[in-house]
């Protein structure tokens, strides 16, 4: 790092121990340091940079021996740059090691051990420097039992499976505001039917319905966002769902996530998924999310000083009654997935249906509505076919696109595509 001065000279700062030289020059010129910039340039915490600037170097004495030294190599390997596993917080690393029964110690002891080893602490300093700043502040508020639940997504989590496949997943979270009792579900899609189905199952799990649901201005909930100038407009399908279930809908003001701080803070534990990069398949990831859900409900919540499961026993008495089984069943759907073949086809009940060539090799979510097969990549619908008894079901533009990719130098792809589809229709009883 070069720190430019007003006259034609610059000071080269190679290490943190060079910072006192900068202090001497700046003080001589009656200038103040930009400590935030120095910390960014040196890839360290602002407080660490300030200590070195002030000449407060860490003791050169060897750190006091600890029984955790037996785990030092394991911890160091987990924090190596080449490891695909990511630990955003010391608490995440501690939970990972205890959850996997690698070590057993109090979290405070573990945090102190990491802090006393600069080479380990540096990893978390870098993680903190890369994180976006949170809201400047918020006003704490509490709600009565059963009054409110807060809902949010942890969106677009990229996860490398143990088989080397990169998938994108999401976690929906609902928090009962009084008890802080949480419910998580892992999904590959955030479409409205998945949101509604998951909330229905959440209500079934807790045995009732909160009086109010508070959420972001989700497109699957709001047609028009709520702002300080307009009240917003709830999507009609979601409004009908809320009427059938009996709850009211309230959206946060746009760009005010702190309004639903209970669920926002809860979602941090979902970052523990990053600790398992490259370790699990999709089913294993689902089991991990269930474990995280159980842990959060069984541990003391810092805000209330109580175990959420304990307070929930009081809160559930104030929830609204569930609607009839007929209504509950109406809104529940199976979360089904299919993998796209090399031919750009997916299978459903013995028939094959085309999708765009860009999705070859991907896993898509599907649902059947009014005898139409809808296929999605997360929230984006990529294809829709009438459900058919025909063995092959091609949309002509899908076939033409795929043919163009496999035979890029062929003449008149459109004509060849039509001719091939005609043959397929006769040979395979195909729908085109």
> What local confidence, expressed as pLDDT, does residue 7 receive?
46
403 vs 418: CA distance, rounded Å: 11
Structure tokens at 247: 């709850």
> What local confidence, expressed as pLDDT, does residue 49 receive?
84
> What local confidence, expressed as pLDDT, does residue 261 receive?
52
295 Cβ neighbours under 8 A, 6+ residues apart: 95, 99, 269
Edge to edge, the sheet with strand 345-348 lists: 345-348, 351-354, 392-393
Per DSSP, the three-state class of 368 is strand
Tokens 């020059």 correspond to what residue? 25
Asked whether the beta carbons of 350 and 394 are under 8 A apart, the reply is no
Can you give the pLDDT of all 432 residues of the chain as single tens digits? 554 544 445 667 778 888 887 887 777 677 888 888 888 888 888 888 888 888 777 665 555 788 899 999 999 999 999 999 999 999 999 999 999 999 999 999 999 999 999 999 999 999 988 877 655 555 456 789 999 999 999 999 999 999 999 999 999 999 999 999 999 999 988 999 999 999 999 999 999 999 999 998 888 898 777 776 677 788 999 999 999 999 999 988 765 555 545 555 667 899 999 999 999 999 999 999 999 999 999 998 888 889 999 999 999 999 999 999 999 999 988 778 899 999 899 999 889 999 998 999 888 988 888 889 999 988 789 999 999 888 888 888 887 777 767 666 667 767 777 777 776 664 344 454
The CATH number assigned to the domain with range 148-330 reads 3.30.420.10
Structure tokens at 383: 């294809």
> What local confidence, expressed as pLDDT, does residue 427 receive?
38
> What local confidence, expressed as pLDDT, does residue 107 receive?
94
Strands (E), 108-211: 148-160, 166-176, 182-187
Instruction: Identify the H or E element spanning 63.
Output: none
> What local confidence, expressed as pLDDT, does residue 196 receive?
96
> What local confidence, expressed as pLDDT, does residue 147 receive?
96
> What local confidence, expressed as pLDDT, does residue 86 receive?
96
> What local confidence, expressed as pLDDT, does residue 279 receive?
97
For residue 397, give Cα distances in angstroms to 402, 404, 418: 9, 10, 10
Q: Where are the domains of the chain?
A: 16-54, 72-130, 148-330, 337-428
Nearest to 159 by CA among 192, 122, 188: 188
């Amino acid at each position: 790092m070069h720190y430019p001065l007003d006259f034609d000279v610059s000071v080269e700062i190679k290490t943190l121990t060079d910072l006192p030289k900068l202090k001497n020059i700046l003080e001589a010129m009656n200038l103040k340091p930009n400590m935030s910039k120095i910390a960014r340039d040196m890839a360290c915490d602002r407080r660490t940079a300030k200590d070195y600037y002030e000449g407060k170097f860490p003791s050169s004495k060897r750190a006091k021996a600890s029984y955790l030294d037996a785990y030092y190599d394991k911890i160091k390997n987990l924090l190596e740059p080449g490891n695909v596993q990511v630990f955003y917080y010391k608490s995440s690393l501690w939970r990972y090691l205890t959850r996997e029964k690698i070590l057993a110690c109090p979290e405070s002891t573990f945090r102190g051990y990491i802090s006393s080893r600069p080479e380990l602490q540096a990893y978390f300093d870098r993680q903190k420097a890369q994180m976006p700043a949170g809201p400047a502040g918020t006003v704490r508020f509490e709600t009565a039992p059963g009054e409110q639940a807060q809902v949010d997504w942890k969106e677009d989590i990229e996860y490398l499976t143990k088989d080397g496949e990169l998938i994108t997943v999401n976690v929906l979270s609902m928090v009962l505001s009084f008890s802080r009792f949480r419910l998580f579900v892992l999904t590959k899609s955030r479409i409205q039917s998945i949101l509604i189905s998951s909330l229905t199952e959440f209500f079934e799990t807790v045995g009732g319905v909160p009086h109010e649901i508070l959420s972001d201005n989700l497109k699957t909930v709001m047609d028009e966002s709520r702002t300080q100038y307009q009240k917003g407009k709830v999507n009609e399908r979601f409004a009908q769902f809320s009427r059938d279930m009996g709850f009211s809908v309230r959206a946060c003001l746009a760009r005010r996530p702190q309004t639903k701080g209970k669920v926002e803070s809860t979602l941090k534990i979902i970052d523990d998924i990053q600790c398992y990069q490259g370790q699990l398949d999709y089913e294993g990831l689902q089991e991990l999310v269930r474990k995280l859900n159980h842990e959060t409900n069984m541990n003391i919540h810092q805000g209330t000083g109580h175990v959420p499961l304990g307070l929930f026993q009081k809160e559930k008495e104030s929830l609204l009654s569930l609607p009839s089984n007929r209504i509950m069943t109406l809104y529940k759907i199976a979360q089904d997935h299919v993998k796209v073949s090399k031919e750009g086809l997916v299978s459903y009940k013995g028939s094959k249906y085309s999708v765009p060539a860009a999705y070859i090799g991907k896993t898509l979510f599907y649902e059947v509505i009014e005898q139409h097969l809808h296929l999605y990549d997360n929230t984006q619908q990529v294809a829709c076919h009438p459900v058919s008894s025909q063995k092959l079901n091609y949309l002509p533009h899908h076939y033409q696109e795929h043919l163009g990719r496999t035979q890029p130098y062929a003449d008149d792809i459109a004509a060849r595509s039509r001719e091939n589809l005609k043959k397929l229709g006769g040979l395979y009883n195909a729908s085109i």
